[in-house]
Amino acid sequence: MNNVIIPNWHFGEKVLIFRSDRSKCDERPTIILDGNKLQYKCKDSDIGKILCSAELIDGMFEDGMIISISERGEVECLHHESKQEIDIFMTNKCNSNCIMCPVSEYDRKKSDERYVEWLKEYIKILPSDVSYINITGGEPTLALDIFFEIMELLKNKFQNSDFQMLSNGRSFADIFFLNSVIACTPIGTRFAIPLHSSDRSIHDMITQSEGSFEQTVRGIRNLLNKKQKVEIRIVISKKNCDRLTETVLYILKHFRDVFCVNFIAMEMMGNAAVNRKEVWIDYDEAFKKAKTAIDILVNEGVDVQLYNFPLCFVERGYWQMAANSITDYKICYMDECKDCKVKALCGGMFFSTKYIMRPKVKPVE
């Protein structure tokens, strides 16, 4: 899909569905492959404007694919019909600046005034029967101009989907704000919140934001008091790996009703890539450092998962906790993985982590 440009595109920025034949079209704005022509149809009654010959896009689109076309005709794939999970990116703004964030500080400060309209168009065109919606950012609750409106749109459209909100939890320290969020959020939404350490100075040093520990802790407590589903995330880095046991003991003491605790290996992009010498810890060392903490949680009946860990760095007895958590288009394997017997089960690694850290994988025989 990279580098596809529709020639002579002059309809402005659009979000469209691709149909491989006219009989499958509905009222949504569509790009149709009609015989040997690619056509653009913006309403049900339209005949469709011919864009180019089919050869130009040969095999690049799949039926039901949702694509974005820029003003200059550049095409980006947003969603495959076969995919049951959707990310709704609210904003790139964040009130923290975590040293291992996969987004850079520079990217978090960029803004695009047309984004709100674009996002509404995207939500409108999505199929309503997807299984899972991820509300993400930046910090999604900082999109104050659109947050409540978009949440209402999502709640009304995706009535049978599960929802997850990835948040640093700081906004939920304000109980009045939290009440408004709960009112517009589907029942059963999972709030996934990182707690970097039980030591406030370590947490605040990782977020590079003084006072963030207090706010996150109060946010988690407020959510649990409101009987919300909370997942606590611990991103393992050089900065917090020596206090994982203390951190889970703190969680058990203060947040006993937590839904689950997940340990996460880093994605080496953005701040994480810039600060790699300070933050990166090899996968196997990260697992070893987390093992006691995992055992404590499991013995206490708390669900645990490992995100972004290739299987060969995890002890066999813990493989069932290793989730295939990396988004399809970011998954990568090392060349040596081709002979690995468990490749089909392994969630691989991030593309960026492969190229920056060159992990020494151990193919399973």
Contact footprint for ligand SF4 (CB under 6 A)? 310-312, 333-334, 337, 340, 342-343, 346, 348, 361-364
Tokens of 73: 């005709």
Query: Cβ closer to ligand SF4: 191 or 280?
Result: 280
Q: How far is the CB of 342 from ligand SF4 (least distance, A)?
A: 5
CA terminus-to-terminus distance, the chain: 35
Query: Cβ closer to ligand SF4: 61 or 263?
Result: 263
Tokens of 205: 């040093």
Q: How far is the CB of 310 from ligand SF4 (least distance, A)?
A: 3
Q: How far is the CB of 311 from ligand SF4 (least distance, A)?
A: 4
Query: Residue 302 to residues 171, 189, 251: CA-CA distances in angstroms?
Result: 25, 19, 10
Placement of tokens 């850079």 in the chain: 104
Q: How far is the CB of 2 from ligand SF4 (least distance, A)?
A: 25
Query: Cβ closer to ligand SF4: 232 or 340?
Result: 340
Number of helices and strands in the chain (H, E) = 11, 16
Query: Cβ closer to ligand SF4: 206 or 312?
Result: 312
Q: How far is the CB of 339 from ligand SF4 (least distance, A)?
A: 8
- Work out the number of other CB atoms within 10 angstroms of the CB of residue 363: 16
Query: Cβ closer to ligand SF4: 67 or 346?
Result: 346
Query: Cβ closer to ligand SF4: 177 or 333?
Result: 333
Sequence-distant (≥ 6) Cβ neighbours of residue 105 within 8 angstroms: 97, 271
Query: Cβ closer to ligand SF4: 146 or 342?
Result: 342
Q: How far is the CB of 270 from ligand SF4 (least distance, A)?
A: 23
Find residue 50's DSSP bridge partners: 39
Find residue 193's DSSP bridge partners: 232
Q: How far apart are CA 359 and CA 112, in angstroms?
A: 36
Tokens of 195: 């707690």
Helix (H, G, I), strand (E, B) or coil at 71: coil
Q: How far is the CB of 263 from ligand SF4 (least distance, A)?
A: 17
Tokens of 293: 């903490």
